[in-house]
Structure 1
Amino acid sequence: MSSYKALIIDDEPDIRELLDLTLSRMDIETYSAADIDSAHAALEQQKFDLCITDMNLPDGNGIDLVKFIQLNYPNTPVAVLTAYGSMDTAITSLKAGAFDFVTKPVDLQRLRDLVNTALKLNAGKREIVAKHSDSPILGASPQIMKLQTQIVKLARSQAPVYISGESGSGKELVAREIHRLGPRSECPFVPVNCGAIPGELMESEFFGHKKGSFTGAYEDKTGLFQAAKGGTLFLDEVADLPMQMQVKLLRAIQEKAVRPVGAQKEIDTDVRILSATHKDLSKLVEQGDFRQDLFYRINVIQMCVPPLRDRIDDIRFLSEYFLKALAKDWEMELPRLSSNAEKALQNYQFPGNVRELENILERAVTLCDDEVITPEHLQLPTDGNPVSKVGSTLGDHAIPDFVEGDSLEEYLTDIEKQAILKALEETRWNRTAAAKKLGMSFRSLRYRLKKLGLDTDD
């Protein structure tokens, strides 16, 4: 006897028969309904692991049925059958809570992929609860609690999610958590920084290429879509995609297929798309710098990661977490914040968010020798500008100008690196003398060298 049950709702006998045959071969027991009333009756009598419904039914709309099941049977995933090319309908169904959609005529392999993914949801529900309790997204503020709830809910869906938020706020961490808690967790999570790929290589990176398709293509290459098969493709800084690539990406997402450069045939894909950027994507759409149809397709569900300054109650918790991690990694006594240092952090605006807090504390640990971090060790800007003078020099080492929009953390790290190099050169690479010159312990200097990639020891 089958361990899974599925409800098929469609007024076309041929479609019902096709779906029944396909699912039965997957060892799934199927029940059929020709309209919404029959579906309601079946749902009352049986517990289903999956529902597949058509959009147009004799006594109502498939969207209404999706909402009804979401409200009354929230643990039952619903897939929607849509007409070919009806992307607006598919997106509406996803927004209403549908797990995923299948276009007619039905591609049986895509249907089987969808069904297998859906069945993993309830099978792994206990595991998901256990995983959620071990979330890497830290904090106890109302904003973080809300974010955690959203993540668990979105992990059950296959809808594309657009994650907005400032740099350093944890957008990729959120994307990884949606993947980790979802039914695709055993398959790859493939992150790609869209702004870091050269324009001429972008199509090859995303879709792959065939040997000899262009100069330098000495062998077949697997693209990112293929690499993420069965899993999640995370498009970070999606706003940086050039317009030409936006068109090709839109087609790949809508058709669920890609064509490698130089290939004659398309390859079916099975990935979930998550995307993020720190830029205002809707504003870029208004300006004509980002395609509205692509934005509409990737922004089916939007979630916003709150900036650290909007959840100052989490600063103490995050600080304790990062300091414990540093103490463990560096094999040192646990540093602690003085009350004044804690107040200084709570009053700081954190333009670089959680990532900046981590970097500030790491730098502070190297500067304090008695395990107590004071405001002076934090080196927080007091007027919104870096502490060091812009455009100055450290001996022969020029400090680059800080340009508005650049990463403050990277800028300060570069200054620190130049200061350490200067001290080492002046002491002929005597680390003990250099540490004294820099006003830090030998141990602190050793770990800074390791962190900055300046440690030449084996």
Structure 2
Amino acid sequence: MTSKAILIVDDDKDMRLALQETLTRRGYGTTLACNGIEALERMREKEYQAIIADIKMPGMSGVEMLQEVKKKGLNTPLILITAYGKIEDAVEAMKAGAFDYIQKPFSSEAVEAIVDKALEQNNKKATKRRHMPKGEIITNDPAMQKIIELASMVAPTRAPFLIQGESGTGKEVLARFIHNHSPRKEYPFIAINCAALPEGLLESELFGHEKGSFTGAISRKLGKFELAQGGTLMLDEISEMNLHLQAKLLRVLQEYEIDRLGGREPISIDVRIIATTNRDLGEAIAEKKFREDLFYRLNVVSLVIPPLRERREDIPLLTDHFMHKYSRDNGKGSKVVSKNALSLLMEYPWPGNVRELENIIERAVILSRDNTLSPKDISLPFPLSVKAEVGENGKQCSMKDMEKALILKTLTEYNNNRTHTAKTLGISIRTLRNKLKEYRS
């Protein structure tokens, strides 16, 4: 049997040694800790495949230790030992996210069975992450899992989706997930960025045009709606669409037909529309920049993706995924991330979200000469002390301040070249322009 590392945490020396004897006999490697604080120190030094700990310990309880483990983004299964008849302790343990619990007194066989079960599930999760199919979403976050569950449930229907979230959170990934889990998956998935094209060109791109419909229209052109027939059309940054096009889109959602520019008759379409935005559409409606009736048509199913800083337990999963992906794509050997480097990633606020994490891991994989990524390989756009730079009077700054600091710093690095700045930040030039206008006002 391949040796697995198990961390045993108990303030009772006899219990620690008894558990160690049982698990060593089973073929597992073990490390002992007498309390939760010492256990957290051990976890900084080494990766463990399972943890077994007493729920009642001085200084830091087993549940408090479990909460700290979760905060660090570790997904190690943790088994808590409870006293005989203490059902409330068992309930507390499971609510806190323990893998399972075991009541005193227990037999060696019971310990072996529950640890084997924990390791089996841990192995399945690791294998699933390594072989995650394209279009699947990598997460252990409860809020994200609820979003995926809702998306999966509604995907087989015709209903439109409105996906909201900050830049880089994975709105297009979720849109593709919906497409791939619907009857439309064999048909096209087409995405268009509403902020990336001039207004006149966007209308032609969406609806198509007939020959001679305007100067330069030398032949008929099919628009994105027709090209996506039977499939899915994703309208990225829908908030940047002008009111004229919003009115035309509203008619599409009501009648499921379009008119080409210069066309004489409407054309029936069968397309699922998914709109995405990183703006607050409520504010846009109040400012008369977005139609309220269109919002209600799009908002049949609304999904709000939380920023990466609110789902930190996903950072190790995503880091592992991106390391494997870019090691494979660039012909590099298999790499791992050191504990210190992972701590750095866990502490960073990620204003650019998952896209920013992906870019940083890609760079680290390409430039690192070692098989282990260390802190020196992690090149963050600005130091973790940026709060001190952009905060006022020692106060913590908001994420808007962090975003502003990142944008202005990147703009300075590219000598005010907006094209390169927008590309690096993963946003459109129009979004960058709007942000800069907002900062000036």
TM-score > 0.5, shorter chain as reference: yes
The count of corresponding residues between Structure 1 and Structure 2 is: 276
Which segment is superposed worse, 197-206 or 241-250? 197-206
Assess, with a 3 A threshold, how the Cα gap between structure 1 residues 391 and 234 changes in structure 2: closer, same or farther: closer
Distance 2:135 2:343 in 1: 27
Deviations 1:8-57 (A, max 9, x none): xxxxxxxxxxxxxxxxxxxxxxxxxxxxxxxxxxxxxxxxxxxxxxxxxx
**Structure 2 counterpart of 1:260:** 260
**Structure 2 counterpart of 1:243:** 243
Give the TM-score of the pair, scaled to structure 2. Answer: 0.58
Moved segments of 4+, more than 6 Å: 387-393
**Structure 2 counterpart of 1:172:** 172
- Say which structure, 1 or 2, has more relative contact order (CA 8 Å, 6+ apart): 2
Q: CA deviation at 1:376?
A: 2.6
Contact 1:390 1:401 in 2 (8 A): no
Distance 1:275 1:410 in 2: 18
Q: CA deviation at 1:233?
A: 1.2
Distance 1:374 1:158 in 2: 47
Q: Match of 1:229, SS? A: coil
Q: Match of 1:219, SS? A: coil
Distance 1:288 1:239 in 2: 11
Distance 2:354 2:372 in 1: 21
Assess, with a 3 A threshold, how the Cα gap between structure 1 residues 290 and 365 changes in structure 2: closer, same or farther: same
**Structure 1 counterpart of 2:102:** none
Letter in 1 for 2:286: E
Deviations 1:335-384 (A, max 9, x none): 22111110111111111111111101112223322222222321223215
Assess, with a 3 A threshold, how the Cα gap between structure 1 residues 189 and 347 changes in structure 2: closer, same or farther: same
Q: Match of 1:249, SS? A: helix
Letter in 2 for 1:345: L
Q: Match of 2:260, SS? A: coil
Distance 1:209 1:234 in 2: 20
Contact 1:234 1:273 in 2 (8 A): yes
Contact 1:209 1:222 in 2 (8 A): yes
Assess, with a 3 A threshold, how the Cα gap between structure 1 residues 281 and 220 changes in structure 2: closer, same or farther: same
Match status 1:225 vs 2:225: yes
Contact 1:169 1:307 in 2 (8 A): yes
Distance 1:373 1:137 in 2: 24
Q: Match of 2:190, SS? A: strand
**Structure 2 counterpart of 1:187:** 187
Deviations 1:166-186 (A, max 9, x none): 111110111111111111112
| Structure 1 residues 329-368: aligned runs within 5 Å | 329-368=329-368
Q: CA deviation at 1:311?
A: 1.1
Letter in 1 for 2:270: D
Letter in 2 for 1:283: E
**Structure 1 counterpart of 2:141:** 141
Letter in 2 for 1:400: N
Give the TM-score of the pair, scaled to structure 1. Answer: 0.56
Contact 2:355 2:426 in 1 (8 A): no
Distance 1:215 1:401 in 2: 32
Q: Match of 2:233, SS? A: strand
**Structure 2 counterpart of 1:283:** 283
Assess, with a 3 A threshold, how the Cα gap between structure 1 residues 304 and 340 changes in structure 2: closer, same or farther: same
Match status 1:203 vs 2:203: yes
Assess, with a 3 A threshold, how the Cα gap between structure 1 residues 239 and 180 changes in structure 2: closer, same or farther: same
Q: CA deviation at 1:220?
A: 0.6
Once the two structures are aligned, what percentage of the paired residues are identical? 41
Match status 1:161 vs 2:161: yes
| Structure 1 residues 391-430: aligned runs within 5 Å | 399-400=415-416, 409=425
Assess, with a 3 A threshold, how the Cα gap between structure 1 residues 351 and 407 changes in structure 2: closer, same or farther: farther
Distance 2:327 2:145 in 1: 28
Contact 2:256 2:269 in 1 (8 A): yes
Letter in 2 for 1:271: V
Assess, with a 3 A threshold, how the Cα gap between structure 1 residues 233 and 402 changes in structure 2: closer, same or farther: closer
**Structure 1 counterpart of 2:326:** 326
Contact 1:163 1:305 in 2 (8 A): yes
Letter in 2 for 1:187: Y
| Structure 1 residues 113-128: aligned runs within 5 Å | none
Q: Which runs of 5+ in 1 are unaligned?
A: 1-131, 412-458
Letter in 1 for 2:416: P
Contact 1:191 1:236 in 2 (8 A): yes
Q: Match of 2:275, SS? A: strand
**Structure 1 counterpart of 2:151:** 151
Assess, with a 3 A threshold, how the Cα gap between structure 1 residues 390 and 295 changes in structure 2: closer, same or farther: closer
